A and B are shown apart, each in its own frame.
Chain A
Amino acid sequence: MIRTEEMLLNVGPQHPSTHGVFRLVVKIDGEIITEAKPVIGYLHRGTEKLAENLQYTQIIPYTDRMDYLSAMTNNYVICHAVETMMGIEIPERAEYLRVMAMELGRVASHLVSWGTFLLDLGATSPFIFAFREREMIINMLNELSGARLTFNYMRVGGVKWDAPEGWVEKVKEFIPYMREQLVGYHQLVTGNEIFMNRVKGVGVYSKEDAINYSLSGPTLRCTGVKWDLRKDEPYSIYDRFDFNVVTREEGDAWARYHVRLEEIEESLKILEQAVEQFPAEGEILAKVPKIIKAPKGEAFVRIESPRGEIGCYIASDGKKEPYRLKFRRPSFYNLQILPKLLKGENMANMIAILGGIDIVLGEVDG
């Protein structure tokens, strides 16, 4: 008789497929996971507490470092919250610049998620191709804001810089190029039999589970729930653009993969329209007082980041610093379903499931 016993295995915190410093304590019985316990907090910087001693403009660089793969949406959510409280109207040109920057960020973020997901599954070349295209976006955002990842581009009332000469044309040229590459991506990966076997039917959850676990973004839309804040609660100028909300019915890693790739196409559609409608001239910063003081009261805004709904709650007592600041960070909420998904799966699927959820640890830990 062979004596068998459960094994406790530590995955992470320094493990490449955990996309950062995420630790997962799994109990395995042979190849099957009987229990999984995520341990987070290795990248906790206390952004919310730090913000209580910072002026609103000073908080913006901190938000860059939460979801560092799409810092533009984070920049936007804090500015949007303060603007909502102060009732500032944003100049047209600034709104277009913001939308273009955010959508470029979304494409870049989905490219990373696509590349690293496949890298985790053992396919190296998609990662290289994804980063080649992402580099072009990053260079564009670098020209616009002066940084490659931590943009610190938006300000309360508008944006810091106007578009440099020829920037909009560059974005315009990028759109058909990216569309062409997307066809190539599908050719490279989507039809691949090994890939299909690895992801089809893996990490399935139902519509009800997704809603009960408060999932959002592609992790929600992959179950067939048509919910996108850009469409359902339009903020900024998203109501002026014609685009579809991508959904899939299956609710597995395969569906999440497709939702993300198709969302890149929809983002390109928005970019195309934004470039066309971009006003030739105008202000980029509204008239705001030099020291920004949000009026007494509270506000909560939410927008659609590449990973889901990112929300910002501000309670102000009328000073130049917030009394309390809270971010609803989508990666953190999306991660909560992980122990449930992992139970009963084998170890190889663990990587596919975690990669499919697409977390950013800077955001999970806050």
Chain B
Amino acid sequence: MLGLAKGLSYTLKNLTRKKVTYDYPNEPLPVPDRFRGIQKFYPEKCIVCNQCANICPTECIQLTGKKHPDPNKKGKIIDTYDINFEICILCDLCTEVCPTEAIIMTNNFELAEYSRDELFKNLEWLDENDENIRKVNKA
């Protein structure tokens, strides 16, 4: 019985310790700056190089470009940009390869929706997702 009593004394000792849990979701959860949440997209920075779509392991990024409206300028600008968060694994590879940092991570992570279709996010939604943007994007 001695072992049992010793164990119980450890439990009792821990009763007085400061609690370690968070009152989430009533209070926001503290996350570090590097935390990989939902992506933010800057349409004006994108050069339609397709690198993010190519590196994506689950092929959840789909994008199309169009000719620059100003005929004097070369290159393309972004037309549509969709991320399917049903299959996105938030691995951060898209932001790693982006040469212009047009796609970057935010610290927002709440993605729950009532229907699967709502997990399909388009360019406008990703553009508006501009809170808690990660400060440092590349090592």
Chain A positions within 8 Å of B, measured between CB atoms, are 54-55, 57-59, 61-62, 125, 129, 132, 135, 139, 142-147, 150, 152, 160-162, 164, 184, 187-196, 284-285
Do residues B32 and A189 form an inter-chain contact, with CB atoms below 8 A?
A: no
Number of A-B contacts (CB under 8 A): 77
Q: How many residues of B contact A (CB 8 A)?
A: 28
B51 to nearest A CB, angstroms?
10
* B 1-28 contacts with A by CB, 8 A: 1-4, 6-7, 9-11, 14, 20
Q: Check B1 against A193 for contact (C-beta < 8 Å).
A: yes
User: Measured between alpha carbons, how far is A194 from B96 in the docked complex, in Å?
Assistant: 52
Residues of A within 8 A of B75 (CB): none
Q: Give CA–CA (A102, B1) in the complex, Å.
A: 39
Tell me whether B10 and A284 are in contact (CB under 8 A): no
Say yes or no: is B68 at the interface (Cβ < 8 Å to chain A): no
Interface assignment of B120: CB less than 8 Å from any CB of chain A: no
Name which residue of chain A comes closest to B13, CB basis.
A184
Contact of B10 among A144, A145, A150, A184 (CB under 8 A): A184
How long is the Cα–Cα vector from A57 to B57 in the complex, in angstroms?
A: 9
Among candidates B3, B11, B105, B139, residue contacting A161 with C-beta atoms closer than 8 Å: B139
The answer to whether A152 touches B3, judged by C-beta atoms less than 8 angstroms apart, is no
The distance in angstroms between the C-alpha atoms of A196 and B1, with both chains bound, is: 12
Given known contacts A58-B57, A160-B139, is B34 in contact with A152 (CB within 8 Å)?
Answer: no
A193 in contact with B6 given A61-B91, A132-B20, A135-B20 (CB within 8 Å) = no
Residues of B within 8 A of A (CB): 1-4, 6-7, 9-11, 14, 20, 31-36, 55-57, 89-93, 96, 105, 139
With A147-B35, A162-B139, A284-B139 as contacts: A188 and B10 at CB distance below 8 Å: yes
**What are 7 A-B interface contacts by the 8 Å CB criterion?**
A132-B20, A146-B105, A164-B33, A187-B10, A190-B3, A195-B3, A284-B139
Contact A143 B32 (CB under 8 A): yes
Residue in A61, A142, A144, A192 whose beta carbon sits within 8 Å of that of B31 in the complex: A142
CB-based contact A192/B32 at 8 Å: no
Query: With the chains together, A152 CA to B33 CA distance in Å?
Result: 16
The 3 closest A-B pairs by CB, nearest first: A191-B3, A146-B34, A61-B91
A188 to B105, CA, bound (A): 43
How many Å lie between the Cα of A193 and that of B7 in the bound state?
10
Q: Find the residue from B2, B10, B11, B93 having the highest chain A CB count within 10 A.
A: B10
Chain B residues within an 8 Å CB radius of A162:
139
Contact between chains at A142 and B32 (CB < 8 Å): yes
**Nearest-CB distance from B136 to chain A (Å)?**
9
Measured CA separation A150–B88 after assembly (Å): 13
Contact present for B93 and A61 (CB under 8 Å) = yes
CB distance from A46 to the nearest CB of B (A): 13
Give the distance to chain A from B8, nearest Cβ to Cβ, in Å. Answer: 9
